[in-house]
Amino acid sequence: MKQPWDIFCNVVDNFGDIGVCWRLARQLTHEHGLAVRLWVDDLASFTRIAPDADPVADRQRLQGVEVCHWQQPFAGAEPADVVIEAFACELPEAYIAAMAALPQRPVWINLEYLSAENWVTGCHRLPSPHPRLPLIKYFFFPGFVAGTGGLLREQGLLSARSAFDKVAQSEFWQRLGIPARRAGELRISLFCYGSAPLRDLLAAWAASTAPVSVLLPVPQGAVVDAVADFFVVESPAAGEVLQSGQLTVHLIPFLEQSEYDKLLWACDINFVRGEDSFVRAQWVARPFVWQIYPQADNAHQVKLDAFLDLYTAGMPADMAAAVRALWHGWNGAGQPGNTWPAFAAHQAALAQHGENWAEQLNRLGDLASNLVRFSRNQI
């Protein structure tokens, strides 16, 4: 009999929270033989990355995972052996009471947000007894260094990336209706928040000395509005192509996760946001630019710098400075258009650095396997 796991996901970042939880649920099912229920409060966002999902079904089975609509009030369910509270989403009180009533209490894990801050290793796997009930919740932190839970990575991900050769890339571009590369063309995927200083970067790309093609999955709300404003067009949709100077923007359909991975593999530089696409970009081993989820009082800048400290360690000083300048500008502390040329000049060296960085991350083990190992030690 398969061991049952429950994963609870409260969708906050539209695609980041559910993106992580959906990848985790599938990996636990397919690679570890577990019976996983994924509780999601926003099925509409879920269907963007899982187009086969029914946005109104209370329960459905997708790729071996039972997907349940997490509604208020909570209808009740028998707790699983292992319960993942993703990103401190707060389990329903009735579910917590049901866990406490079991003779064998579940392993309760709060899967935390990804952070590179130094304090994470001191808090990883710490127990937190419930103030009233005979339950213990454990904090589990993904991370980039030893002493954390590592990152999500399916067993075949790196080999699939390596097998994605020029022929596979050509077939991928044909499916999206993207023409063959022009001589010297730079291809960039763009996934960002509406707060990104996009106009400044679009202007820099339009004035580039080499052709720049940007792949923009839609819908992205305010992002598409900013692109439309730059090109002085109204309501562009998937399939449209916009051009200014050396810049061509291809609006493409929003991709399910495996296709989005291929987009990252096929592009030269990837702009990513939040947590899910941020992690996937690191396994690609190509230059990337991260827009962190904005927080009040600029608290996110501390997290951004903590990651940059790790990621740029060992880089030549000029390359590290170019990365920091563009990333800070893209996250609201400067003008990214001014810092783009220096970053682009290091493209080849950043790709090699990305290979080394991915190898370093790979040595930590993957998050799903580390979660399974930890949970079995608690039972």
What separation in angstroms does the CA of 62 have from each of 20, 32, 58, 356? 16, 17, 13, 35
The position carrying tokens 């079991």 is 102
Q: Catalytic: 17?
A: yes
215 contacts: CB under 8 Å, gap ≥ 6: 176, 178, 187, 188, 189, 190, 250, 252, 263, 267
CA 88, 27, 257, 161 dihedral sign is: positive
Residue 355, classed as helix, strand or coil, is helix
Q: Among the options 6, 13, 275, 276, which is catalytic?
A: 275
User: HEC states along 71-112?
Assistant: CCCCCCCCCCCEEEEECCCCCCHHHHHHHHHCCCCCEEEEEC
d(CA 20, CA 367): 11
d(CA 273, CA 231): 23
Element (H, E) at 358: helix 347-362
DSSP state letters, 166-204: HHHHHHHHHHHTPPPPPTT-EEEEE---TTS-HHHHHHH
Q: Catalytic: 256?
A: no
Taking the CA atoms of residue 95, residue 101, residue 105 and residue 106 in that order, the dihedral angle to the nearest 10 degrees is -20
Q: Which two tokens stand for residue 205?
A: 């790309």
The position carrying tokens 């997490």 is 70
The position carrying tokens 């609006």 is 251
Q: Among the options 6, 13, 17, 261, which is catalytic?
A: 17
d(CA 357, CA 351): 10
Looking at the annotation, which residues are catalytic? 17, 275
